[in-house]
Structure 1
Amino acid sequence: MTQLNFTGTLGRFDFNHWSYHIPVPDDVAAQMMDDNHRRVLVWIKESGPYHMALMKAKECWYVLVNQELRKKLDLEEEKVIAVKIERDHSEFGHVLPEEFQVLLDQDEEGNDYFRKLTPGKQRGLVYIVTTVKNPESRMKKSLAILHHLKLAKGKLDYKQLNILIKHYNNI
């Protein structure tokens, strides 16, 4: 796995709420992706890896940096920061939690609906489970997701999914 190091600065776009980003040099971005793959692992100030996507603006390639990460790493605009980047070879752009994997292995119908989703929707559902630290809560979210996929015949409805997640959390 090729890791590349560079120094960057936290920048800010003026056009939307996803404005904080770290520009990635063109030569680095070119080595991290191909036509079908823009997912990367990023270390910022020796902290990480963080699963991110290379994005393109008119003037540069970049990775988005959310508020939680900015606060955690005490990142300020225009200050130089050390960045390390490597291609993300994980199947879903996040590590698949064991609880979710076990349920996918056991539930053929739920697994089938999950695998038919777009990679972005799969990644989003995996992310919903990874944000929880407690194994029991990860299991409940995983159960709710598979239950929702089966009820909705594979059509994601996030409003309905959130209702099911709340239901499973109260069981």
Structure 2
Amino acid sequence: MKSQTIKAPILKFESDAWSYYVAIPKKIGDQFIDGKDRRIVCTINNSTPIHSALMPKGEIYSVYVKKDFMKKYGIAEGDEVTVQLEKDTSEYGKPIPESFQVLLDQDQEGNNLFHSLTKGKQRTLIHLVGKVKNVESQLAKGLAIMHHLKEANGELDFKRLNVLIKEYNNRK
């Protein structure tokens, strides 16, 4: 399956954990699932692609849509949008910032510890680095992550990691 395009409204969850989603019919979503792998790339109204997962929700799948994304693209709850789905075949299920890839390439021990983590934890760390746009801040976060992985022998402790990130940010 190459890609699939549907029209669907932006809906609101009845939960505080997530705000908005697009409903994907089960018949369409099933085409993108490979075993336990539900990772997709979703493009809404020709916007920036969203690396996401098809989340089971009764007789449909949902694709989460963040408030800041909706604001950026002028989308509101109830708006009908064009959704293009493709299978995410990337290594991590989201793009890795170049600055973090350079650190992984230069630090074999850190690279090995990073790759010993689950794909979900790898994505979380990639997200931490990539959510800041400033390359210096990305490098500081990346260095803190590598330091933490070595210090904790590959066991993630997010409280300790956050302390290290603050320390590395203050070194600038």
TM-score (norm: length of structure 2): 0.93
C-alpha distance after superposition, 1:114-146 (max 9, x if no partner): 111111000100111111111111111111100
Between Structure 1 and Structure 2, how many residues are aligned?
171
Match in the other structure for 2:151:
151
Match in the other structure for 2:9:
9
Match in the other structure for 1:44:
44
Give the AA of the match of 1:45.
Answer: N
Q: Secondary structure at the match of 1:154?
A: coil
Deviation at 1:78, TM superposition (A): 2.1
Deviation at 1:149, TM superposition (A): 0.6
Superposed, which structure 2 residues align to 1:22-41 within 5 Å? 22-41=22-41
Q: Secondary structure at the match of 2:49?
A: strand
Match in the other structure for 2:77:
77
Match in the other structure for 1:68:
68
Deviation at 1:76, TM superposition (A): 2.0
Q: Secondary structure at the match of 1:10?
A: strand
C-alpha distance after superposition, 1:95-116 (max 9, x if no partner): 1112111111221211111111
Match in the other structure for 2:86:
86
Distance 1:19 1:131 in 2: 19
Please state if 1:103 is matched with 2:103.
yes
Q: Secondary structure at the match of 2:42?
A: strand
Distance 2:19 2:68 in 1: 14
Deviation at 1:73, TM superposition (A): 2.0
Distance 1:76 1:99 in 2: 34
Q: Secondary structure at the match of 1:48?
A: coil
CA RMSD of aligned residues (A): 1.3
Unaligned runs of 5+ in 1: none
Match in the other structure for 1:127:
127
Deviation at 1:89, TM superposition (A): 0.9
